[in-house]
């Protein structure tokens, strides 16, 4: 669990202590427990027809969209720079072998997230992972973790890097680029100008949200920039069918922090043997800018030494998560600027897990719907 920023509750806006500014005003929605929050159908009786743009189709952005759709007749457009929705809910096939190279499993303390997971278990889109459910039940998507993203590719404008936003006449316009043609962290008014949108939601990892918000000159850049996120180098190793080895390793005092044999995941029917190997946050940070091949070689050697797997891998692939999990969280579900109609959500608002992303997305939707019902009534 990441540390939380010390928030002082006041009747009005929350105050985030910021060393540089000596405390900045952040308008955040009320901190009511999600389980007690009204259902979407209960919020406001009049449907809203305003358009919303969401940047980021990870679990936070997709959840915000799903909960907003119940209260909106307007269009909700989601942009993501990735090839498919899901963000860190990631899976890929290498030479026919499935690897879950992002989030490994979901745990749930929040009753709403638990109900959401259990509904997916009931209809076959998720399952319990008994081998790893020691202190808490752990859930996985079926056939892979990306299945928890729950969004058909057609629901998201994929491959679209949004680099800038500006407001004109109270409405938002986005600058949208082909993700293949811009540098990953690019911020600036390039590409096609798309709009208008009445509301804008950023559902990005904290450092990316901070850079975007700084680029458009919004004061939410300050709280977002306080949140640091640990990287994670991940290596995927494929072995011939029948290769013997452990199911799960949680190494201590090692460059590795997690090793999973993909075939021990519920629903995996691959004949070949795949291992997903994740480096610790400290090791990943120390080697963040190293050559990917060198990282791959080091982590593969470490895996062989720890696991005792005798065979050489048939193939190896590497993924660098620059922003894997937050080390500090804001302690609020999301940020919402009622005047500018701008919201920010993501796992880092509440924690560093899938549950945090889900709860942040729900909180974002509720903040907007609460405001909507007020403005519709008013």
Ligand X SMILES: Cc1cc2nc3c(=O)[nH]c(=O)nc-3n(C[C@H](O)[C@H](O)[C@H](O)COP(=O)(O)OP(=O)(O)OC[C@H]3O[C@@H](n4cnc5c(N)ncnc54)[C@H](O)[C@@H]3O)c2cc1C
Pick from 62, 4, 52: nearest CA to 357: 62
Residue window 132-171: x/- pattern of binding to ligand X, with contact defined by CB under 6 A: -----------------------------xx---------
Q: How many CA atoms are closer than 13 Å to the CA of 374, on its beta-carbon side?
A: 7
Six-digit token pair at 221? 């850049």
210 binding ligand X? (CB under 6 A): no
44 binding ligand X? (CB under 6 A): no
Q: What does the alpha-carbon distance between residue 65 and residue 30 come to, in Å, rounded to a whole number?
A: 20
| Cβ contact 362:67 at 8 Å | yes
Which residue among 278, 280, 307, 341 contacts ligand X (CB under 6 A)? 278
Which residue among 14, 26, 59, 76 contacts ligand X (CB under 6 A)? 59
Which residue among 89, 256, 279, 364 contacts ligand X (CB under 6 A)? 89
Count of residues of this chain found to bind ligand X when the rule CB under 6 A is applied: 38
Q: Among the candidate windows 1-9, 204-212, 220-228, 327-335, which touches ligand X by CB under 6 A?
A: 204-212
User: Per residue in 332-371, is it b (16+ CB within 10 Å) or e — as a string?
Assistant: bbbbbbeebbbbbbbbbbbbbbbbbbbbbbbbbbbbbbbb
Smallest distance from the beta carbon of 86 to ligand X, in angstroms? 7
> What is the helix (H) or strand (E) element at residue 153, kind and residue range?
none
| Cβ contact 105:137 at 8 Å | no
Residue count of the chain = 378
324 binding ligand X? (CB under 6 A): yes
232 binding ligand X? (CB under 6 A): yes
207 binding ligand X? (CB under 6 A): no
Smallest distance from the beta carbon of 341 to ligand X, in angstroms? 19
**Closer residue to ligand X in complex, CB, 224/324:** 324
Pick from 324, 317, 375, 326: nearest CA to 351: 326
| Cβ contact 234:256 at 8 Å | no
Smallest distance from the beta carbon of 254 to ligand X, in angstroms? 16
Torsion of CA 87, 360, 127, 56, to 10 degrees: -20
| Cβ contact 108:117 at 8 Å | yes
Which residue among 230, 342, 357, 367 contacts ligand X (CB under 6 A)? 357
Secondary structure class of 219 (helix, strand, coil):
coil
105 binding ligand X? (CB under 6 A): yes
| Cβ contact 339:15 at 8 Å | no
Secondary structure class of 173 (helix, strand, coil):
strand
362 binding ligand X? (CB under 6 A): no
Which residues in 302-321 contact ligand X (CB under 6 A)?
Answer: 321
Q: Among the candidate windows 4-12, 83-91, 129-137, 335-343, which touches ligand X by CB under 6 A?
A: 83-91
Pick from 124, 139, 136, 202: nearest CA to 165: 202
Name the residue with tokens 């997971």: 117
104 binding ligand X? (CB under 6 A): yes
Which residue among 316, 325, 329, 372 contacts ligand X (CB under 6 A)? 325
**Closer residue to ligand X in complex, CB, 82/274:** 82
108 binding ligand X? (CB under 6 A): no
For ligand X, the binding residues (CB under 6 A) are 55-61, 79-82, 87-89, 102-106, 161-162, 203-205, 208, 232, 234, 278, 321, 324-325, 346-347, 352-354, 356-357
């Amino acid at each position: 669990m990441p540390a939380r920023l010390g928030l002082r509750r006041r009747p009005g806006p929350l105050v985030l202590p910021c060393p540089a500014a000596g405390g900045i005003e952040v308008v955040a929605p009320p901190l009511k427990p999600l389980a007690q929050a009204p259902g979407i159908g209960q919020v406001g009786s009049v449907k809203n027809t305003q358009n919303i743009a969401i940047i980021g189709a990870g679990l936070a952005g997709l959840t915000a969209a799903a909960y907003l759709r119940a209260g909106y007749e307007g269009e909700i457009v989601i942009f993501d720079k990735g090839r498919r929705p899901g963000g860190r809910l990631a899976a890929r096939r290498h030479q026919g072998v499935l690897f879950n190279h992002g989030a490994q499993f979901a745990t749930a303390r929040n009753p709403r997230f638990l109900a959401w997971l259990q509904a997916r278990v009931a209809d076959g889109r998720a399952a319990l992972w008994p081998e790893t459910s020691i202190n808490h039940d752990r859930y996985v998507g079926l056939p892979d973790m990306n299945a928890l993203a729950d969004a058909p590719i057609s629901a998201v404008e994929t491959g679209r890097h949004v680099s800038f936003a500006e407001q004109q006449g109270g409405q938002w316009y986005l600058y949208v680029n082909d993700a293949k043609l811009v540098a990953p962290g690019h911020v600036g008014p390039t590409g096609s100008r798309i709009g208008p949108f009445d509301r804008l939601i950023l559902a990005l990892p904290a450092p990316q949200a901070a850079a975007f918000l700084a680029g458009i000159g919004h004061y939410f850049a300050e709280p977002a920039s306080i949140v640091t996120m640990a990287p994670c180098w991940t290596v995927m190793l494929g072995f011939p069918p029948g290769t013997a080895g452990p199911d799960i390793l949680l190494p201590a005092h090692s460059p590795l922090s997690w090793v999973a044999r993909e075939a021990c995941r519920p629903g995996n029917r691959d004949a070949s043997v795949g291992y997903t190997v994740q480096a610790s946050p400290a090791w990943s940070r120390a080697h963040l800018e190293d050559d990917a091949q060198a990282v791959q070689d080091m982590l593969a050697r470490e895996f062989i030494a720890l696991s005792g797997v005798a065979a050489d891998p048939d193939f190896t692939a590497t993924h660098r998560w620059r922003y894997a999990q937050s080390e500090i969280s804001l302690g609020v579900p999301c940020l919402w600027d009622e005047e500018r109609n701008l919201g920010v959500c993501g796992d880092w608002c509440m924690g560093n897990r899938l549950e945090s992303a889900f709860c942040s997305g729900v909180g974002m939707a509720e903040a907007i719907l609460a405001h909507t019902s007020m403005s519709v009534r008013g």
